[in-house]
Structure 1
Amino acid sequence: MIRCIRRAAAFCLLLLVALLVNAARVQLFEADELDDNPANRRSAIVRYDQPRGNILVGDRPVTGNKETGEQLSFERTYLHGPLYAPVTGYASQTYGTTLIENAEDAVLSGTDSLLAPLPFWNEFTRGRQPGGDVVTTIKASMQQAAYEGLRGRRGAVAALDPSTGAILALVSTPSYDPERLSGTGAAVTDAWSRLNASPSMPMLNRAIRQTYPPGSTFKIVTAAAALDSRTVTDPDAATDTPSPYVLPGTDTTLPNEARGCENASLADAIRVSCNTVMAHLGVEVGLDGMVETAEKFGFNDTGLRIPSGVARSNFDTDMSDDQLALSSIGQFNTKATPLQMAMVASAVAGGGDLRRPHLVDRVTTNTGDTVRRERSESYERPMNPATAVQLQRMMVEVVENGTGSNAAIDGVRVGGKTGTAQHGVDNSGLPYAWFISWAQAPDSGRPAVAVAVVVEDAAADRADISGGGSAAPIARAVMEAALEEE
């Protein structure tokens, strides 16, 4: 009998050891996999059992939380949702997170180690703190001006502080209310289906995730390359450029919509937007020089984050001379996000120094203590300071005596460049209207803001679309709001 009891006890001990080994295996080696399993509701229950931290514009939250009385206790709410959707993104119990809600999820959900009372506290306890807050660089007045300026048309606005790289406005229209996606159930799935099926693509963040042919706004990049490479030594001297200009190696002629472009100087070519002069100069600079300059401005960068990922703006690195000519005036395969073209304007306004764009100013605990602050960093120096000064003068001429007069602000030094970008098969698509600009108050030693605007505007008459007519007034409104913030 004793022998049987001993054997039974030994067998039970063996089972206990096996149970402990299996528990250790699950906890140490399979915990992450089980946490990520869609069938595991525990992580979702824990995730939504406390309020999420807020995203702030200035000192005001543009997000909130509401109690649901259900298993997932708290649901995300948004103040002025469509206005700030390109900044916040959404936090959905059904569809996950995007934009700042995604990039700063660890802070907002309380799992970031920065919020813990001791180093590695969250890692050891597998716990979390009350959700922290994310303070953005957005200026409410500028965001509102950009949003109202677009008036629901398809388009986008990006505005930067040239001195710091802080993103002051980031608007994409038409927009959507992210609160409609916050919870669960049929209403959320129906809203998701309608938003994704809409031909106007309201959930597309056109400011950072959509690329467009930049058209004549890219001529600022070409001008920088021509001046820095000494292809042009005197921007006011005549160039040896016929009008129309025959694309190298082809029988195709490139015309101008502007008059007086034959042998026009670089300064005049920028002021009235001569295709022929800028295409010719791009070819003279050469492929290597154009690629080098474009990439210093941010083109072809696949790793730009603000902290959300930004779509890659493209300037081809392998082209024939006729393709290079078209690329040098923002056509062929040249594509850019509105943020990228705001970076171009910012580099000129900043005296040749391009600051890395960023959307988050600081991160705080739920009690307001700062635990991380974003620093202003140099992204690149796309041009010499002397070149930037020359381009500033040319862009001011565009506004004062050229195609960008609709961006003029009384008593303020404003530089700009218009663009009307053709696209589609045989350029059959409705042109995109572009305007890039910067503004400097007379009593200030530095520009207040650099802005890029693109308007798709599929409802407009073709003749009414131009950078100066459609996009420049929006840029002016954003610049005026920025100057009032000074």
Structure 2
Amino acid sequence: MTRNIRHAAVFCALLLVALVVNAARVQLVRGPEFDGNPANRRPDIARYGQPRGDIRVGGEPVTGSRDTGEHLRYERTYTEGPLYAPVTGFASQAYGTTLLEHAEDGLLSGADPALAPIPLWNDVTGFGNAGGSVETTIHAGAQRAAFEGLGGHKGAVAAIEPATGRVLALVSTPSYDPQHLSGNGAAVKRAWERLTGDPDKPMLNRAVRQTYPPGSTFKVVTAAAALDAGVVSDLDAPTVSPDPYTLPGTRTRLTNESEGCRDASLREAFEWSCNTVFAKLGVDVGVADMAATAEAFGFNDDGLRVPFSVARSTFDTSVDRAQLGLSSIGQYNTRATPLQMAMVAAAVANGGQARTPYLVERTVRAGGAVVATSGSSPAREVMSPATAARLAELMRGVVENGTGANAAIPGAVVGGKTGTAQHGVGNSGTPYAWFVSWARGGQDAEPRVAVAVVVEGRAADRGEISGGGLAAPVARAVMAAVLGS
């Protein structure tokens, strides 16, 4: 009898070992396979089983969560969704996440290990964390001014605090309401099909993901290169610049929209945006120095993130002299995001020092404890302080005496540069209206905001499209909102 009991005990022990081994095999070896199986809804149920953390602007949430009472319990909600969509992106149960919702998904969803009270706590207890919140650098007044300023136009605005790199505004129009994509029902599918099929591309973040020929706003870069290289030393001395200017090695003659550009000084050429002067300056500076200056400003950088990725702004380094002339006035293959051109204006405003832009001020736990802070990156020198001071003087002249008068703010010091960028085969496309600028309040020691605005003009208004007419008033509204806060 005892022998039979012993055999039964051994057999039961073997069964227990087999169960433990099989459980370990399922959990550890085949666990990832089961987690990734489309039929396994447990990860989704857990992910949406609690409210998502908030994205905040000025300390106030611009996102929320709604209890649906369904298996995927909580859906994302958005306060003034179209206004902040270029910042937040969307968090959809059906289509995933974009922009800040994607870059900070671990923290917002509660999955980030940094939210655990002690390392490996959740692995041991099996409990999850409440989602953390993301405090952005966005200035609510500047964001609204940019959005309302663009109005019904297609375009984008980016604004930066020059001394720190804090992103104060990111606006893209037309926009969309990300809440329409939050759930997973038939209405969400219809909204997705409508938005992705819209030829105006409302889900495209034009401020950071679309590049444009910057046109005459790129003359800020060309002027910096010419001054740093010593090609120009006196802002008021006549340049040797024919009008029209025949591009080197070609029969193509470059002309100007303004009169009086022949042999114009750098100051006059900057204020009235003389193409001939700046094309020749770029050729005289040469490809190597032009490329070095452009890259110091941030062109040709594949790695810029804010924290989501930013499209690469380009300055072609393999051009001949004729192509270099066109590149130096923001045409040919030169392309830039609005954020990149805001970085150009910010570097001038900050005495030639550039700060990498950033959008997240800090991340915090549900209880308010800080998880991480961002802060300014080390400054890099884009140009000499003397060159930056002279460029700031030139940009002030554009607003006070030239094509940027619509950006002037009473009681403030404003510098700017207009641009009207041609594009398309034979310049057949409707031009883009550009304006880049910076502003300092009357009592401020240094500029507080740098802005870039691009407006995609309508074909019907082609003859009236200009940076000073369309884009400068938007920039003025954004700058005034920051200075008045």
**TM-score interval, normalised by the smaller of the two chains:** over 0.9
- What's the CA shift for 1:334? 0.6
C-alpha change, 1:95 and 1:199, in structure 2 (3 Å) is: same
Distance in 1 (alpha carbons) for counterparts of 2:189 and 2:458: 28
Equivalences for residues 56-455 of structure 1 within 5 A: 56-122=56-122, 124-125=124-125, 127-378=127-378, 380-455=380-455
Distance in 2 (alpha carbons) for counterparts of 1:284 and 1:334: 18
C-alpha change, 1:10 and 1:170, in structure 2 (3 Å) is: same
- What's the CA shift for 1:232? 1.3
- What's the CA shift for 1:29? 3.8
Distance in 1 (alpha carbons) for counterparts of 2:419 and 2:96: 37
C-alpha change, 1:426 and 1:366, in structure 2 (3 Å) is: same
**Range with greater deviation from structure 2 (109-118 or 66-75):** 109-118
What letter matches 2:224 in structure 1?
A: A
- What's the CA shift for 1:129? 1.1
Distance in 2 (alpha carbons) for counterparts of 1:22 and 1:290: 66
C-alpha change, 1:472 and 1:45, in structure 2 (3 Å) is: same
| DSSP-derived class of the 1:378 partner | coil
TM normalised by structure 2 equals 0.96
What letter matches 2:78 in structure 1?
A: Y
C-alpha change, 1:299 and 1:124, in structure 2 (3 Å) is: farther
Distance in 2 (alpha carbons) for counterparts of 1:463 and 1:31: 64
What letter matches 2:296 in structure 1?
A: K
Distance in 2 (alpha carbons) for counterparts of 1:455 and 1:68: 40
| DSSP-derived class of the 1:450 partner | strand
Percent identity, aligned pairs only, is 64
Q: Is the 8 A contact 1:113 1:121 kept in 2?
A: no
Q: Is the 8 A contact 2:90 2:98 kept in 1?
A: yes
What letter matches 2:385 in structure 1?
A: P
C-alpha change, 1:126 and 1:324, in structure 2 (3 Å) is: farther
**Range with greater deviation from structure 2 (214-223 or 118-127):** 118-127
| DSSP-derived class of the 2:24 partner | helix
C-alpha change, 1:252 and 1:459, in structure 2 (3 Å) is: closer
**Range with greater deviation from structure 2 (213-222 or 455-464):** 455-464
Distance in 2 (alpha carbons) for counterparts of 1:236 and 1:126: 72
User: Any unmatched runs of 5+ in structure 1?
Assistant: none
Q: Is the 8 A contact 2:354 2:381 kept in 1?
A: yes
Find the counterpart in structure 1 of residue 483 from structure 2.
483
| DSSP-derived class of the 2:300 partner | coil
| DSSP-derived class of the 2:362 partner | strand
What letter matches 1:85 in structure 2?
A: A
**Range with greater deviation from structure 2 (145-154 or 116-125):** 116-125
Any idea what the Cα deviations from partners look like across 1:268-290, whole Å, max 9, x if unmatched?
11110011111111111111111
What letter matches 1:237 in structure 2?
A: A
| DSSP-derived class of the 1:87 partner | helix
User: Any unmatched runs of 5+ in structure 2?
Assistant: none
**Range with greater deviation from structure 2 (451-460 or 133-142):** 451-460
- What's the CA shift for 1:7? 8.2
C-alpha change, 1:327 and 1:122, in structure 2 (3 Å) is: farther
What letter matches 2:146 in structure 1?
A: A
Q: Is the 8 A contact 1:116 1:129 kept in 2?
A: yes
What letter matches 2:181 in structure 1?
A: L
Any idea what the Cα deviations from partners look like across 1:155-193, whole Å, max 9, x if unmatched?
000000001100111100000000000001100000000
- What's the CA shift for 1:231? 1.5
What letter matches 1:49 in structure 2?
A: G
Any idea what the Cα deviations from partners look like across 1:372-427, whole Å, max 9, x if unmatched?
11111135321111110000000000000001011011121100000000001111
- What's the CA shift for 1:239? 1.2
**Range with greater deviation from structure 2 (21-30 or 154-163):** 21-30
| DSSP-derived class of the 1:65 partner | strand
Number of residue pairs aligned between Structure 1 and Structure 2 = 485
C-alpha change, 1:27 and 1:411, in structure 2 (3 Å) is: same
Distance in 2 (alpha carbons) for counterparts of 1:298 and 1:213: 15
| DSSP-derived class of the 1:461 partner | helix
Give the CA RMSD over aligned residues.
Answer: 1.8
